[in-house]
Chain A
């Protein structure tokens, strides 16, 4: 089998997810070639053929043009599978390519088992095995699911490509993430509030626990979207990625985007009423309790130490 790996490039940099794509090809024991709309100055360590489109010409985010470039590479290489990261770039571009190829697309693949692609369902509470009926398959891979390639090395054989296509979208540049005074990545202890806190007033008890543990408090996306906590404290793929000595998740169910931002923490405590919540998968200790009762009690006992 041959897989076309679609690497990513943003703001002048190659994204590290390229090595996850290579790890996937290794796991599939497949041959691979790579596509990158990027720059010669930022190539991955990779010992295969790499089709390179100059992002200065074709744009970093220009789905119509990137689609045309990819279709050209696919026509030349005839891969059975085209693999993207399940990222803002990948989930946007993959359906466009799949549609043009009349190929099935399987999103957010986490594993391969029994000849089927494994994907999550219902906020990662369930899994599905999917079988494809088309000659070519497009996949997007969940971040972190396949690890990083073992000892990436080599210099790719670069083949430069370009396209005549014009895009329908006008790209106006990037807006940097909100800068705040809170750098969660430096905190040794982080206590985060999830949807389970129920109402904005209860964020205070999470903050109090963080203080008792001499740490910072954070929050999951729904709490930030509700305006209960400012974005600079958001943990997860669209917020900060953290790896403190202790992470306490209060009422956080454990959506994959949140787990991706905190699962490298040294020790994880989850406080949740739902024993089956996906956060339990990464927690060292799962306290099955109502946080509104448990957190103030724990805080009080910690203060008394």
Chain B
């Protein structure tokens, strides 16, 4: 069985963001980078599937600069067999359609039985790439899965709907699934596996070889949203803050009556 998992490197969302000089994206300097949270579940599920079927080859694909190799090494340490790095210093400027086209171009003649992606990235959050890539490849896709099982060329999943309701779905492989938070418990790479990962194949492919489409939209401006509402901001000594808050709750709400 051949499995592909697609991951993205994103800034830690707790970071202090600054707008880049271009005015159309955030500044990539002084940020802590990590694996997109949704993709951690995708990698874990792909590794679990590999462990289940035994005979499997699991490739992790990531698009970006040299910097993203660090995140790819984490995926390799979690259990992926090989890495395909699509070298692109302008990955942040690419829209979901271009990213999906790169993935589909890479995957089209490799015969993957299953492709895993996160359901969205934490920075762009379009929730398009996985489904688009599957449409390009002409294979079924199921988005936002919270359970996954595989047997004899068929997958059974639950996809998450609003209000905690789930829909049960089945399809045949080859297929693509996009993974929602909570799908599993992503493992922490152990030290021996981190060491082993250093020896795994990690090849770089120039993005120009895989990108054969043009962007259909562009970001013209990125900015911080205006603060609305003008809620009261309290800062200072915690003890005094607590007294102040109790005073406000007494005045503005009926809950302390």
**Chain A residues with a Cβ under 8 A of chain B:** 10-11, 61, 64, 86-89, 91-92, 94-96, 98-100, 102-108, 116, 119-134, 140, 168-178, 188-189, 213-215, 221-222, 224-225, 231, 234, 237-241, 245-246, 253, 266-270, 274-276, 280-290, 293-294, 297-298, 301-302, 305
In the complex formed, the residue of A with least CB distance to B221 is A129
* 8 Å CB interface, B13-29 against A: 13-14, 16-17, 19, 24, 26
Q: Tell me the bound Cα distance from A245 to B220 in angstroms.
A: 41
Q: Tell me the bound Cα distance from A285 to B220 in angstroms.
A: 34
**Chain B residues with a Cβ under 8 A of chain A:** 11, 13-14, 16-17, 19, 24, 26, 95-97, 120, 122-128, 131-132, 135-136, 140, 142-144, 156, 158-172, 181-182, 215-225, 227-229, 231-235, 238-239, 241-243, 245-246, 248-249, 252-256
In the complex formed, the residue of B with least CB distance to A270 is B231
Q: Tell me the bound Cα distance from A194 to B159 in angstroms.
A: 24
**Given A283-B231, A301-B242, also A168-B140 (CB < 8 A):** yes
Q: Are A287 and B165 in contact (CB under 8 A)?
A: no
**Given A127-B222, A281-B228, A302-B246, also A287-B234 (CB < 8 A):** yes
A132, A225, A239, A285: which contacts B232 (Cβ < 8 A)?
A: A285
Q: Are B234 and A108 in contact (CB under 8 A)?
A: no
Residues on B with C-beta less than 8 A from A285 are 231-234, 245, 248
Our count of residue pairs bridging A and B at CB distance below 8 angstroms stands at: 250
Q: Tell me the bound Cα distance from A275 to B164 in angstroms.
A: 31
Q: Are A170 and B224 in contact (CB under 8 A)?
A: no
Q: Are B140 and A169 in contact (CB under 8 A)?
A: yes
Majority secondary structure, B binding face: mixed
A107, A116, A173, A240: which contacts B127 (Cβ < 8 A)?
A: A107
Q: Are A99 and B13 in contact (CB under 8 A)?
A: no
Q: Tell me the bound Cα distance from A224 to B13 in angstroms.
A: 19
Q: Are A121 and B159 in contact (CB under 8 A)?
A: no
B169, B228, B245: which contacts A269 (Cβ < 8 A)?
A: B245
Q: Are A128 and B222 in contact (CB under 8 A)?
A: yes
Q: Tell me the bound Cα distance from A92 to B164 in angstroms.
A: 17
In the complex formed, the residue of A with least CB distance to B119 is A91
4 more A-B residue pairs beyond the given contacts A105-B126, A239-B163, with a C-beta to C-beta distance below 8 A? A91-B128, A169-B140, A237-B162, A267-B252
Q: Tell me the bound Cα distance from A266 to B233 in angstroms.
A: 18
Q: Tell me the bound Cα distance from A294 to B234 in angstroms.
A: 12
Q: Are A121 and B135 in contact (CB under 8 A)?
A: no
Q: Tell me the bound Cα distance from A241 to B164 in angstroms.
A: 11
Task: Enumerate the 10 nearest inter-chain pairs by beta-carbon distance, A residue then B residue, closest first.
Answer: A177-B164, A172-B168, A104-B216, A168-B140, A225-B182, A104-B217, A95-B131, A107-B126, A91-B127, A170-B170
Majority secondary structure, A binding face: mixed
Q: Are B164 and A169 in contact (CB under 8 A)?
A: no
Residues on B with C-beta less than 8 A from A132 are 216-217
Show 5 residue pairs from A and B whose CB-CB distance is below 8 angstroms, ordered by the A residue: A95-B135, A213-B256, A245-B254, A245-B255, A301-B243
Q: Tell me the bound Cα distance from A98 to B131 in angstroms.
A: 11
Q: Please indicate which of the listed interface residues B19, B125, B172 has the most CB atoms of chain A within 10 Å of its own CB.
A: B125
**Given A99-B135, A222-B181, A275-B233, also A121-B246 (CB < 8 A):** no
Q: Tell me the bound Cα distance from A21 to B256 in angstroms.
A: 40
Q: Are A172 and B181 in contact (CB under 8 A)?
A: no
A126, A234, A284: which contacts B222 (Cβ < 8 A)?
A: A126
A67 to chain B, nearest CB (A): 9
In the complex formed, the residue of A with least CB distance to B95 is A104
Q: Are B229 and A188 in contact (CB under 8 A)?
A: no
A131, A239, A266: which contacts B253 (Cβ < 8 A)?
A: A266
Q: Are A239 and B164 in contact (CB under 8 A)?
A: yes
Q: Are B13 and A253 in contact (CB under 8 A)?
A: yes
Q: Are A172 and B170 in contact (CB under 8 A)?
A: yes
Residues on A with C-beta less than 8 A from B142 are 169
A171, A178, A221, A283: which contacts B168 (Cβ < 8 A)?
A: A171
